[in-house]
Structure formats: C-alpha cells, structure tokens
Amino acid sequence: MTDLTPNSTFLIAGIVFITIAVIGQSKLAFIEINPGCFGRILALFIGVSSLLYALGILNFSAENLDLLRNSLTEEIKQRISQINEILQGS
C-alpha cells in the first residue's frame, strides 16, 4: 500500500470539493449532500485552492511568508513619510 503524499491528498480533496460545488444537491448512497449557495461557493474556493496547492502554484511555506512579511516591512519603512502625510492631511 502506498502512502498518500500531501500533494496527492490536496489533489483528491480539490477534486472532491470541485465536484460538490458543481453537482450541488445529490444523493450518495445514504448520504444526501445539499450545500446550498454559500456551501457551493465555499466548496469551489476550497477546491480551487487545494488544486492550486497540489500543482505547486499556491505555496504557503514559512520561507515565503517570511519573505512577504520582510518585503512589506521594508516597503512601509520606505513610505512612512507618505503615510504620515496622508494621515495628517485628513
């Protein structure tokens, strides 16, 4: 038996959630799936996010989050005078 890698797990979850979003109300054996409008939109969002993560397009690693935080911090430091002008001008 093979172990499920995170990519295959997200791929399977993405396909399941996309199926729920597209089909909507259905009956699977004794389980009835009726997500409603918000549930279908949520399933679509989760499904697309899972598929993008499985394909490597959407990557939330700690290195990427640190890089994003550092770049935002540097950008704010560079623009602090403009931010102060905007806040004082209002």
Residues 83 and 50 in one domain: no
Residues 33 and 52 in one domain: yes
Cα distance between residue 81 and residue 3, in whole Å:
54
Task: Encode pLDDT of 6-59 as tens digits.
Answer: 677 888 888 888 888 888 777 767 777 777 788 888 888 888 888 888 877 666
Residues 53 and 28 in one domain: yes
Residues 51 and 76 in one domain: no
What pLDDT, on a 0 to 100 scale, did the predictor assign at position 63? 67
Q: Is the dihedral of CA 39, 45, 48, 52 positive or negative?
A: negative
Mean pLDDT in residue range 52-78: 74
Residues 54 and 44 in one domain: yes
Residues 53 and 76 in one domain: no
What pLDDT, on a 0 to 100 scale, did the predictor assign at position 74? 85
- For residues 79, 81, 86 and 90, what is the CA-based torsion angle, rounded to 10 degrees? 160
Answer whether 17's CB lies under 8 Å from 42's CB. no
Domain count of the fold of the chain: 2
Mean pLDDT in residue range 60-73: 72
Cα distance between residue 85 and residue 23, in whole Å:
52
Residues 51 and 64 in one domain: no
Cα distance between residue 10 and residue 22, in whole Å:
18
Residues 12 and 48 in one domain: yes
pTM: 0.54
